Amino acid sequence: MTRIDATFARLKAEGKKAFVAYVMAGDPDYDTSLEIVKGLPGAGVDIIELGQPFTDPMADGPTIQAAGQRALAQGMTLQKTLDMARAFRETDNETPIVMMGYYNPIYSRGVERFLADAREAGIDGLIIVDLPPEEDEELCIPAQKAGLNFIRLATPTTDDRRLPRVMQNTSGFVYYVSITGITGSAQAEAGDVAPEVARIKAAGNLPVVVGFGITTPEAAARIAGVADGAVVGSAIVSRIARGDTPAEVLGFVRTLADGAHSA
């Protein structure tokens, strides 16, 4: 059982939904980013999504793209992202960390070396948005063998013929993208999300968390109410971008977590 599995089991026993927060590693700089990451569990975050900066983030909207560019400009690398996870683990051995990003930096490092380093640093799962199920032998299956969850995205365009393939080697949870398009581009609607979550849960025995288009505590509550949890990324990253202090960012995160946990 991974930290991710244990977290969902605990939340289910408590009758609570998960709140997942995304931040870009190294944004606006390494030290500030680490301070925010270390503060997330205390602000109510159940699972941390740690973005790996990349030069060509095709699935990300302007807010996340800009965060990646800020981090890269500050010298952020894959190694420093792993270092950040390792530093987080010095004081927290329970909160799951999911690294979210793209395959190129991992491929450049070498899959076997990356997986060993990620496991040692305390990474629990991976979301690699540009590796479809047809490429599972590249990273997904080796990651599972190394003890990391490989989390797949499902979208409004994932039809019933495609869904079993998406679910086949997925573990930890399924990340349902509530809208078509890029991050930060529209609002998630619980009425649209609910039947899709039910469809995904019927296709496999995994928790389903919903992201994209959640910007307020009220929206987090509505979406968590029809899923196993809610993910917020762009709304948090935008607070970092405008220069909020770590305490201010974490205060905002707390309101979102309270919203999701109230569902």
Among the four given CATH numbers 1.20.58.110, 3.50.50.60, 3.20.20.70, 3.40.50.300, the one describing domain 3-9+20-261: 3.20.20.70
Would you state the structure tokens that stand for residue 159, as one six-digit string? 């039809």
Would you state the structure tokens that stand for residue 138, as one six-digit string? 């590249």
Q: What is the pTM of this model?
A: 0.95
| Contact indicator for 12, 159 with CB cutoff of 8 Å | no
Determine the pLDDT at residue 192: 87
The residues carrying an active-site annotation are 49, 60
Give the pLDDT confidence of 48-91 residue by residue, as tens digits.
Answer: 999 999 998 887 889 999 999 999 999 999 999 999 999 999 99
Q: How far apart are CA 32 and CA 34, in angstroms?
A: 5
Residue 205 is which amino acid? N
Would you state the structure tokens that stand for residue 222, as one six-digit string? 């509505």
Q: Where are the domains of the chain?
A: 3-9+20-261
Task: Name the stretches of the chain with pLDDT < 70.
Answer: 180-186
User: CA dist 150 to 45, 143, 145, 153, 158, Å?
Assistant: 20, 7, 10, 10, 18
Determine the pLDDT at residue 15: 97
Determine the pLDDT at residue 60: 85
| Contact indicator for 102, 127 with CB cutoff of 8 Å | no
Determine the pLDDT at residue 180: 62
Determine the pLDDT at residue 184: 53
